Amino acid sequence: MIFLKSEDIQKRIKELADLINEDFKGQEVTFIPVLKGSFMFFSDLIKHINLDSEIEFISVQSYNGQYTTGEPVIACCPESLNNKNVIIVEDILDTGITLDAILLKIFRQEPANVKIAVLLDKPSRRRLDIYADYVGFKIENKFVFGYGLDLNQKFRNLPDIHVNEFTI
Ligand code: IMP
Ligand code: MG
């Protein structure tokens, strides 16, 4: 069942990009998209960004099927974020465990400023005190997939975001 339509996603992403452009006007920004889930969100977001920007991907895996393992594995890290403005770009903020682990790594490099952009936020699932600065959509506790998000590594290619009524 379609949960968020492609055109609504695109409209909201443009709004988020406008906010980021405004907040960082005249400054340099290093975007850190988190693979794999954010690849579609990030590629659409960055097209609307008019800032002097760099891109450093990181890769994290923390889900086994629909259930978080609670132990995010971060593969690779950008070099030298010292004194830079960083925006981490994630598909979804759920328990907060993944972003907490990413923040810990990134703060070690002493960036000037770290912000978080997520397409989706499930506040009711939060286990750690993590807040996103740019949120596409706040959603209830449903497992969603499509538009980069997977269900057992499948369906990332779908242009809309879907929800399976039989999953929580
Ligand atoms: P957290 O560590 O619990 O905040 O989980 C964040 C990660 O779990 C995200 O980067 C997603 O990859 C994955 N995730 C959480 N909820 C969903 C969902 O509803 N669909 C697909 N992936 C999800
Ligand atoms: Mg992810």
pLDDT for the residue numbered 134: 98
Instruction: Write down the pTM of the prediction.
Output: 0.94
Residue type, 89: V
Nearest to 91 by CA among 18, 30, 143: 143
Mean pLDDT check: name the lowest of 74-83, 103-112, 131-140: 74-83
Position 147 confidence tier, pLDDT thresholds 50, 70, 90: very high
Position 149 confidence tier, pLDDT thresholds 50, 70, 90: very high
Q: Confirm if 10 and 44 have CB atoms less than 8 A apart.
A: yes
**Residues catalogued as catalytic:** 94
Say how many Å lie between the CA of residue 113 and the centre of ligand 2.
Answer: 22
pLDDT for the residue numbered 68: 66
Check whether 167 has a pLDDT greater than 60: no
Check whether 67 has a pLDDT greater than 70: no
Check whether 59 has a pLDDT greater than 90: yes
* 3-state SS assignment for residue 69: strand
The residue whose CB lies within 8 Å of the most ligand 1 atoms, and thus the one to mutate among 39, 64, 89, 91, is 91
